[in-house]
């Protein structure tokens, strides 16, 4: 096997790993930007929407208040969950409180899935990006050593250049992973806070 074979393989794999890190970075920052906007609006509307709902005189007025204030539709699915109970269906054969519990639980799960969307991607990027960068470093160093072994001359510059470029891949992997990990932790805390508020709202609705 001649050195040109290693050069071709090394270049192809290095470019592939760089593209993977770039895709991870773009995906994670897209999720971070969207989830930051989404959770900010949810947090800004949640307390005002809930207060307006309970201050309404009847259900119709309460729904109108939610339509005006609950811009991200996190409380409205819970408030309208009872509309899913259709007379004469299997779901209405249980006790009334059990029927309400079921539809509220399903509505709550649907809202929580929206809140949790993107969290898996952030966790995956945070967990895998450093290893992608490390793989690029290992392969780059191996690629450099093969080229050095095939060279008839040896110098410090011949070693430092390729090895230094390879180590940049590790730094790139960490640079991609760190924002994803920080965002995952911060947004996870915000989501847990919203989840507690939604569970309390659902419990109050069940008793209404």
User: What's the rounded mean pLDDT across residues 15-39?
Assistant: 95
Report how far apart, in Å, the C-alpha atoms of 137 and of each of 17, 131, 184 are: 10, 10, 26
| Segment 82-109, tens digit of pLDDT | 776 655 555 556 577 777 888 888 899 9
CA torsion angle for 38, 113, 198, 103 (degrees, to 10)? 140
| Segment 138-181, tens digit of pLDDT | 888 887 777 777 766 666 666 666 777 788 899 999 999 999 99
What is the distance between the terminal CA atoms of the chain, rounded to a whole angstrom? 77
Report how far apart, in Å, the C-alpha atoms of 190 and of each of 53, 99, 117 are: 22, 30, 13
Entry pTM: 0.80
Range list of β-strands (E), the chain: none
Cα separation of 111 and 169, whole Å?
A: 39
């Amino acid at each position: 096997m001649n050195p040109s074979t290693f050069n071709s393989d090394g270049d192809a794999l290095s470019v592939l790993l760089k593209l993977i890190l770039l895709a991870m970075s773009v995906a994670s920052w897209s999720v971070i930007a969207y989830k930051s906007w989404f959770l900010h609006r949810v947090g800004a509307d949640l307390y005002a929407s809930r207060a307006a709902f309970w201050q309404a005189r009847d259900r119709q007025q309460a729904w109108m208040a939610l339509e005006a204030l609950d811009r991200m539709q996190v409380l409205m699915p819970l408030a309208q969950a009872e509309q899913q109970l259709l007379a004469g269906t299997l779901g209405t054969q249980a006790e009334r409180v059990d029927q309400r519990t079921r539809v509220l639980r399903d509505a709550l799960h649907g809202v929580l899935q929206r809140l949790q969307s993107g969290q898996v991607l952030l966790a995956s990027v945070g967990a895998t990006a450093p290893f992608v960068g490390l793989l690029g470093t290992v392969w780059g160093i191996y690629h450099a050593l093969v080229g050095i072994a095939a060279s008839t001359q040896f110098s410090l510059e011949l070693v430092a250049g390729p090895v230094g470029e390879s180590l940049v891949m590790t730094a790139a992997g960490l640079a991609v992973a760190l924002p994803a990990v920080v965002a995952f932790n911060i947004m996870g805390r915000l989501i847990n806070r919203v989840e507690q508020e939604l569970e309390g709202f659902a419990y109050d609705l069940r008793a209404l």
